[in-house]
Amino acid sequence: MPLSPIPRGVYPSVTHISPRALAEKGIKLVLADLDNTLVPYKVTRPPAEVAAWKEELEANNIALFLLSNSRKPGRAREFARQLGIPYQGHSGKPKRAGYLQAMERMGAKPRETVMVGDQIFTDTLGANNAGVTPLLVEPIRLAGNPGRYIRYAVETPFRLLGKRRPFV
């Protein structure tokens, strides 16, 4: 659905998104946001549960790809290296280009791809722009920046609409 800010389901965390259920839907590629989706801001190491989720994705023939807007030099690269996955930093979400380049690199079509992220106006909107199914997760931690609470409040109607139509 182009230009829609509505996600397909809202999940408590990435590990609540079942790799097997994604595989049953024909998904081959998961694009994942970094900050507040896989780890809190400033955390540099992948937690064990994220590493286990990546392994379970791969066991279901699904690739995980880090699609981050982080402007911190080396942050996305270093996180992706530790997790053993490909990445794109400065990805320009919600513009389509980053999503399209990631799918081209990974040899996946939009209908075979989901985006997992915590922000409606970057992750979700961009995914819909690119024809990719957007899955929303609750932000790991809002504390630390007042702007995050304001953004979360503005996102709430879209979050509620998304809860009604989960993809998996």
Number of residues engaging Mg ion in binding (CB under 5 A): 5
Stretch that binds Mg ion, among 50-58, 76-84, 98-106, 112-120 (CB under 5 A): 112-120
- Which CB atom, from 33 or from 112, has the smaller least distance to Mg ion? 33
Site for Mg ion in 25-84 (CB under 5 A): 33, 35-37
Write down the least CB distance from residue 4 to Mg ion, Å: 19
Write down the least CB distance from residue 38 to Mg ion, Å: 9
Q: Which residue type is seen at 28? A: K
Residue 134, helix vs strand vs coil? strand
In terms of C-beta density within 10 A (0-12 exposed, 13-18 middle, 19 or more buried), how is residue 120 classed?
buried
Could you give the CA distance from residue 69 to residue 93 in angstroms, rounded to a whole number? 7
Q: Which two tokens stand for residue 75?
A: 């942050």
Write down the least CB distance from residue 5 to Mg ion, Å: 15
Contact between 155 and Mg ion (CB under 5 A)? no
Q: Which of these, 167, 156, 154, 80, lies nearest to 115 by C-alpha position?
A: 167
Could you give the CA distance from residue 128 to residue 144 in angstroms, rounded to a whole number? 29
Site string for Mg ion, 115-144 (x = CB under 5 A): ---x--------------------------
Interface contacts to Mg ion, rule CB under 5 A:
33, 35-37, 118
